[in-house]
Amino acid sequence: MKPTLGPTVILDRISEKRTDKEYMEALVSAETSRFFVLAGDKAVVDSNEDRTKTHVHWFTGLEIADLGLAVNEAIFLGIDPEDGTAKYAVATSEHYARGAPQARDALKSRVEVRTLATEGAMPQSELALVAQAVSLGHWHENHRCCGRCGGSMNIKQGGWKRKCWACGYEAFPRVDPVVIMAVTDGEHIVLAHEHRFPDKMYSTLAGYIEPGDDIVHAVRRETKEETGLEVGEVKLLGSQPWPFPHSLMLGCIAHAEYRELVVDAAEIEHAAWFSRIEANSMLSGIHSQELWLPGPQSMAHQLVKAWLSNEI
């Protein structure tokens, strides 16, 4: 399985040095440091005319300041091992990028991160960086105030921690683990269309891991809740960071007996067993009723593909 949003670690996150305040202050103001801008869920990029090649646009610290953005609130992504430069992301709003006179032109070329992942024009290493920054950006957006006392949370360690100025409460960027599973009897697979999905899109079952769950238990619990099926053996096949907003997808295969599904109607509009032939036509976009599966950047796609080719 080869998911395209990661895991690709190309930068050194120097976690051992991030607690050194003076070092981090010197690093963010170093002339060689580079910054890219996230405006909401869009990254500022450079593209060729037909959009077959897309790269992150790197700004200098001075350029960031000229755009009216806060260099000292930049999120540290890591040190590039090739040239030793520090790389950062600066998060702002779509509203600011569109409206602020000094930012309008420089931030004009913005592309949704989901689109970047889908169109495959950005190198994998850069896409992984953008995904990392989006996850961190979402977390910061939702942790401006202390969950304990409501005080203001100051950014620490290059954005890898926030600390309440009033009560000292510390919060760290989180990931939400999600199990996503190919439930199969060997010759058929369970695919579902959730209410929130685009028209005719189906996917494998998935659900958040809850406190007290391990991976196997979460797969069994979610499969039972969503379809009424009892699952036997569960195997973890791989994992993938998914920055919408900050999930970690844990791809599994689970075995169940072929039997009638009892669907949880609150979440799922329709779920069914699909044959290998049908699943293959959905994956290839040639299904007779135009049912389709998410694109190759998704774990669901990779799971179905691996099952069809007997890799799992």
- Contact positions vs Zn ion (CB under 5 A): 146, 148-149, 151, 164, 166-167, 169
Quick one: 162 or 193, whose CB is closer to Zn ion? Answer: 162
Contacts of 51 (CB under 8 A, 6+ apart): 119, 121
Euclidean distance between the first and final Cα of the chain, in Å?
10
In angstroms, rounded to a whole number, what is the distance separating the alpha carbons of residues 35 and 60? 6
Strands (E), the chain: 34-39, 42-47, 54-56, 59-60, 75-79, 86-92, 110-112, 153-156, 161-164, 170-171, 176-184, 188-194, 205-208, 231-242, 247-256, 268-275
Quick one: 70 or 166, whose CB is closer to Zn ion? Answer: 166
For the bound state, the minimum distance from the C-beta of residue 152 to Zn ion, rounded and expressed in Å, comes to 9
For the bound state, the minimum distance from the C-beta of residue 76 to Zn ion, rounded and expressed in Å, comes to 23
Quick one: 84 or 147, whose CB is closer to Zn ion? Answer: 147
For the bound state, the minimum distance from the C-beta of residue 165 to Zn ion, rounded and expressed in Å, comes to 8
For the bound state, the minimum distance from the C-beta of residue 145 to Zn ion, rounded and expressed in Å, comes to 8
For the bound state, the minimum distance from the C-beta of residue 310 to Zn ion, rounded and expressed in Å, comes to 54
Contact between residue 171 and residue 147 where contact means Cβ atoms under 8 Å apart: yes
Contacts of 273 (CB under 8 A, 6+ apart): 185, 188, 189, 190, 258, 261
Q: How many CA atoms lie within 13 A of 193 on its CB side?
A: 13
Burial class (CB in 10 A: 0-12, 13-18, 19+), 84: exposed
Per DSSP, 159 falls in state G
Quick one: 164 or 180, whose CB is closer to Zn ion? Answer: 164
- Exposure string of 272-306, with b = 16+ CB inside 10 Å and e = fewer, is bbbebebbbbbbeeebeeebbbbbebbbbbbbbbb
For the bound state, the minimum distance from the C-beta of residue 148 to Zn ion, rounded and expressed in Å, comes to 5
Q: Which residue has the tokens 């099926």?
A: 229
Quick one: 111 or 153, whose CB is closer to Zn ion? Answer: 153
For the bound state, the minimum distance from the C-beta of residue 162 to Zn ion, rounded and expressed in Å, comes to 10
For the bound state, the minimum distance from the C-beta of residue 137 to Zn ion, rounded and expressed in Å, comes to 22
For the bound state, the minimum distance from the C-beta of residue 93 to Zn ion, rounded and expressed in Å, comes to 25
Quick one: 149 or 262, whose CB is closer to Zn ion? Answer: 149
Quick one: 9 or 167, whose CB is closer to Zn ion? Answer: 167
Report angle CA 247, 251, 252 to the nearest 5 degrees.
140
CA 217, distance to chain mean position in Å, is 23
Quick one: 169 or 197, whose CB is closer to Zn ion? Answer: 169
Quick one: 149 or 286, whose CB is closer to Zn ion? Answer: 149
For residue 288, what are its two tokens?
């007779």
